Structure 1
């Protein structure tokens, strides 16, 4: 009689956030999860982080902790840099020291948006806002180790799960406003958070990590086109009762203190060999069905 395999121990950092909650909701049966929120473990507290990793000895660490509020990052620069940059570098050092595998989440906002086709993992980042700069700093902290046990997963236009996100914001506005103006000159790929979580879990089967992976749902759209599709599907499902006019506007007409890339779609060719990718419209349907 063969001995049953022991479950893999995975430490999720930032467990109360959007991605952390999606990871817990989609946890495979062969995983033993230790989920820590920022309150339980602030990753900027390096001594405590080191003690925690030594005590828990996880085989895999998923860093879903991060300062994700793009506009607030412009105002709270030091805190955003500490969480997204310096702390990630220390986490990579500690993971390597302990021999643990590390999966760290990053963003399409590390790119400047001057490209007109999906960004490859090998394309040179050039962030144009502070949030993107902090995420790039964290990436450098991981890539400096040149270790196949450490990897970065960049994603884009994330929605679903905990906290505020574009889809729920649009649905709320569609119920309360007579018209809606949405930016039509910024393009990217929406990503349903449960799809991202499934991809992250699939990485546990990869023996040797690539330095960087890209993951989003397939297809490219503008924020305006995304909003139009949200309304179309929400009307069909009865989530929204009456259609309202959605007006396309330029980025210049949208009041924001943040420069955002005009085009930030990610090429996910390597990732789709690891996990099935679905069109963003299909994933949106799945999310909306889960809300009904």
Structure 2
């Protein structure tokens, strides 16, 4: 039975893994920054050895996309240097490492879904530090380790677009939402299930990259419309352009991920985004 270290365990994905943990027969060690500082290599090494860890699922990340533009040092520590340390330890101790990355490693200028081989070109600090983490992990190249890039993550846990829309939908009569950014939402519970189910089947000599999101393509505007419809909130969603809602960090206009590789190699069937949104809202008690 695997001894699995889950970092970032109080975030959206880590929380969903915790919820599902009873369904998958591993021994879990759920940690956050108060229990384990992954920017301290010695601390990670001691934790891994003292608990006989043989698998690490790295859900920890600096995800404040706009704040990262001014907080480059801390973003780099968590998204790059910590991943380097985890990869070095995974190689030294011969343990599996599954690391979560992002669609923000791309510039969003594609018009067909991004494959794992497409050229990366991040627009901002967040994407650049996440890419640096990927590159460090690939350079170190621990055996039986993978990177999963995902996009538009939401859950009943943490702060995310779905929870923000539900709150604003109850407070406002109308709301402007961007229509010229297109991608695929990811219900963190679906990604958590995938991670826990594929762990025993990860066997590779070099680090492999996979893409994962729910099926389907949607704009933030259409996503918000569906949230209001399912929750039966009397809030009119109005389409606005990105230029009408300026932010410190540039977002990718197109971040649809091609999931053929992960579906083929692990025999996955990925749920459609509306079905997963429906399930999430029911779990939250918001589906009307």
TM-score by length of 2: 0.94
Match of residue 18, structure 1, among 2, 12, 16: 12
RMSD across aligned C-alpha pairs, in angstroms? 1.2
For residues 123-144 of structure 1, give each alpha carbon's deviation from its aligned partner in whole angstroms, at most 9, with x where no partner exists: 1111001000000000001111
SS at match of 2:238: strand
Shift of 1:272: 2.0
Partner of 1:78: 73
Unaligned segments of structure 2, at least 5 residues = none
Match of 1:4 in 2: none
**Stretches (4+) displaced over 3 A:** none
- Kept after mapping to 1: 8 A contact 2:101/2:150: yes
Following superposition of structure 1 onto structure 2, how do residues 196-275 of structure 1 map, counting pairs within 5 Å? 196-209=191-204, 211-235=208-232, 240=233, 243-273=234-264, 274=266, 275=268
1:189 to 184, 192, 204: 184
1:287 and 2:280 are equivalent in the alignment:
yes
Are the aligned partners of 1:213 and 1:270 in contact in 2 as well (CA < 8 Å)?
A: yes
User: Conserved in 2, the CA contact under 8 Å of 1:21 and 1:161?
Assistant: no
What SS does the aligned partner of 1:103 have? strand
d(CA) in 1 for partners of 2:63, 2:156: 14
Distance in 1 (alpha carbons) for counterparts of 2:42 and 2:202: 30
**Cα distance in 1, alignment partners of residues 156 and 235 from structure 2:** 25
CA contact (8 A) 1:84 1:134 kept: yes
Shift in Å at residue 117 of structure 1? 1.1
Q: For residue 119 of structure 2, what is the aligned residue in structure 1?
A: 124
What secondary structure, in the 3-state scheme, does the structure 2 residue paired with 1:11 have? strand
Q: Distance in 2 between matches of 1:123 and 1:79?
A: 28
Deviation at 1:206, TM superposition (A): 1.5
How many angstroms does 1:148 deviate by?
3.9
Partners of 1:142 and 1:233 in 2: CA distance: 41
Question: Matched residue of 1:270: which SS?
Answer: helix
Q: How does 1:147-166 map to 2 (within 5 A)?
A: 147-166=142-161
Q: Following the alignment from structure 2 to structure 1, what is the Cα–Cα distance between the partners of residues 252 and 70? A: 19
* Separation in structure 1 between the aligned mates of residue 44 and residue 18 of structure 2, nearest angstrom: 21
Q: Distance in 1 between matches of 2:162 and 2:278?
A: 11
* Pair 190,47 (structure 1): closer, same or farther in 2 beyond 3 Å: same
Q: Distance in 2 between matches of 1:140 and 1:259?
A: 22
- Is there any run of 5+ residues in structure 1 with no aligned partner, and where? 1-6
Q: Distance in 1 between matches of 2:86 and 2:184?
A: 29
What do residues 235-291 of structure 1 show as CA deviations (whole Å, max 9, x unaligned)? Answer: 1xxxx3xx2221101100003111111001111112223232011011000001111
